[in-house]
């Protein structure tokens, strides 16, 4: 079993007494706020919160200005709830009182939804696609030549049980062939 040895510093440090440390701090210009006995530092934070809560009218004005700014930017109700820390009902009431219209946020879609159904596959187009594939074209190149999407080309492959080449498959085939020794003559 190994014994662990403690690490000791080269210069032993003498413990400073708290009173001496406080005197030294004050002598250097430091200021220490004394908390009265029976109270804690947290109570001081609570008094500032109470002072803020005493003026609800000023708070509502600030929230109204923030609401106007966020609505102008197009924020939805959920974002307003988070920013204003109010529930939906209060936000809608405040907006209605001041003539603001809240736009409901919609998810951003970058492209139209695809239909699940595949279109009717023309045998002639499928034959051309398979012919180009046998000549060494990739699915992306076939799609460009036949004015199809790559998905359409892959769907032709599924329907006719035919596997089209992709650039990744071509690269791996080239890598494998380069690893093989050259045939002897």
Domain containing residue 139: CATH number: 1.10.10
Assess whether 127 and 172 both reside in one domain: yes
More confident residue, 80 or 7: 80
Q: Using CB atoms within 10 A of its CB, is residue 156 exposed (0-12), middle (13-18) or buried (19+)?
A: buried
Assess whether 129 and 169 both reside in one domain: yes
Assess whether 138 and 168 both reside in one domain: yes
Assess whether 90 and 127 both reside in one domain: no
Could you tell me if residue 100 is inside a domain? yes
pTM of the model: 0.33
pLDDT surpasses 60 at 142: yes
Assess whether 139 and 98 both reside in one domain: no
The predicted structure's pLDDT at residue 25? 84
Could you tell me if residue 59 is inside a domain? yes
Instruction: Rank 10-19, 25-34, 129-138 by mean pLDDT and report only the highest.
Output: 129-138
For the ranges 69-73, 152-156, 173-177, the lowest mean pLDDT is seen at 173-177
Give the chain's domain count.
2
Could you tell me if residue 131 is inside a domain? yes
Q: Percentage of residues in the chain with pLDDT exceeding 90?
A: 4
Could you tell me if residue 142 is inside a domain? yes
For the chain, the average pLDDT equals: 75
In tens, the pLDDT along 18-45 reads: 888 888 888 888 877 777 777 766 655 5
pLDDT surpasses 80 at 1: no
How confident is residue 119, by pLDDT bands cut at 50, 70 and 90?
low
How confident is residue 105, by pLDDT bands cut at 50, 70 and 90?
low
Domain end call among 105, 132, 164: 105
Could you tell me if residue 44 is inside a domain? no
Could you tell me if residue 117 is inside a domain? no
Could you tell me if residue 95 is inside a domain? yes
Contacts (Cβ under 8 Å, ≥6 apart) of 146? 125, 128, 129, 132, 153
The predicted structure's pLDDT at residue 47? 54
Could you tell me if residue 116 is inside a domain? no
Please, are residues 88 and 80 in contact by the beta-carbon 8 Å criterion? Answer: no
Average pLDDT for residues 100-106, to the nearest whole number?
Answer: 73
Q: Using CB atoms within 10 A of its CB, is residue 102 exposed (0-12), middle (13-18) or buried (19+)?
A: buried
Domain end call among 42, 72, 105: 105
| Residues of the domain holding 67 | 54-105
Contacts (Cβ under 8 Å, ≥6 apart) of 77? 88, 91, 92, 102, 104, 105
The predicted structure's pLDDT at residue 97? 92
Q: Which residue has the tokens 């032993």?
A: 12
């Amino acid at each position: 079993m190994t014994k662990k040895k403690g690490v000791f510093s080269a210069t032993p440090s003498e413990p400073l007494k708290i009173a001496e440390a406080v005197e030294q701090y004050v002598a250097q210009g430091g200021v220490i706020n004394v908390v009265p006995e029976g109270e804690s530092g947290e109570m001081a934070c609570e008094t500032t919160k109470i002072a803020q809560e005493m003026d609800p009218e000023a708070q509502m004005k600030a929230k109204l200005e923030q609401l106007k700014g966020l609505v102008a930017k197009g924020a939805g109700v959920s974002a307003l709830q988070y920013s204003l820390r109010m529930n939906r009902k209060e936000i809608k009431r405040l907006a209605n009182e001041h003539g603001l219209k809240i736009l409901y946020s919609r998810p951003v879609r970058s492209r139209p939804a695809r239909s699940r159904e595949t279109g009717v596959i023309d045998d002639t187009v499928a034959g051309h696609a398979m012919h180009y594939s046998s000549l060494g074209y990739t699915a992306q190149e076939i799609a460009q030549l036949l004015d199809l999407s790559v998905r359409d080309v892959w769907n032709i492959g599924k329907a006719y049980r035919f596997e089209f080449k992709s650039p990744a498959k071509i690269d791996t085939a080239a890598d494998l062939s380069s690893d093989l020794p050259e045939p002897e003559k």
